[in-house]
Structure 1
Amino acid sequence: MKAYELLFFVDPSSTDEVRAGVMKRIDVAISDNGGKVDNVEDWGRRKLAYEIDHLNEGDYTLIDFHADANQIAELDRVLRINDAVKRHMIVRRPDKD
């Protein structure tokens, strides 16, 4: 398994239930086929460089995890169809393999 990092943000006016639902769905997508979440960092509310979907701020979360390459495609699909996640980025981390 390779090391990856996922950074995403949701609308800062979202409820705690919505944020928990997003985190649960991400955890399920990673761990379904043997992946493992290593670390979750809540970065909190940050100002965006430019307006996205009429938002000037976002509530950011960074997740470090290990997974196989085929799980990354499924995780990306899950994040794209989730309306609460405004933007996301998955990056491979060869320094943490």
Structure 2
Amino acid sequence: MRKYEIMVIIDPDVDERQVPALLEKHLKVITDGDGTVDSQDIWGKRRMAYEINKKPEGIYAVLNVTAPSAVVSELDRLMTIDERIVRTKVMRTDK
């Protein structure tokens, strides 16, 4: 298993109180796939460098997980399908 850092940008129209539940729904894929969620840091609403889908802001969250690569790929795929999630970036943090 490897360690990953996942940056998630959520649509700014989503209520900020719903963000933890939205992330937990997706992180269930990690825990079901024998992975662990090491940390979850919600930065809140921030201005983006450029507009995405004609929106200048997004709700940022950084997730640190330890999981097999297939499970992280599935998480990224499911987040891409979700209309409330604007962008994701998955980075492997160990060598």
Q: With structure 2 as the length reference, what TM-score do the two structures score?
A: 0.90
Residue aligning to 1:34: 34
Q: Percent identity?
A: 30
Aligned length: 94
The runs of 5 or more residues in structure 1 that have no matched partner are none
CA shift for structure 1 position 12: 1.9
CA shift for structure 1 position 13: 2.4
Residue aligning to 2:52: 52
State whether residues 29 and 78 of structure 1, in contact with CA within 8 Å, keep that contact through their aligned partners in structure 2: no
CA shift for structure 1 position 9: 1.1
Q: With structure 1 as the length reference, what TM-score do the two structures score?
A: 0.89
The whole-number CA distance in structure 2 between the counterparts of 1:13 and 1:82 is: 14
The residue type equivalent to 2:24 in the other structure is: K
The whole-number CA distance in structure 2 between the counterparts of 1:82 and 1:11 is: 10
Matches for 1:5-16 after TM superposition, within 5 Å? 5-15=5-15, 16=17
The runs of 5 or more residues in structure 2 that have no matched partner are none
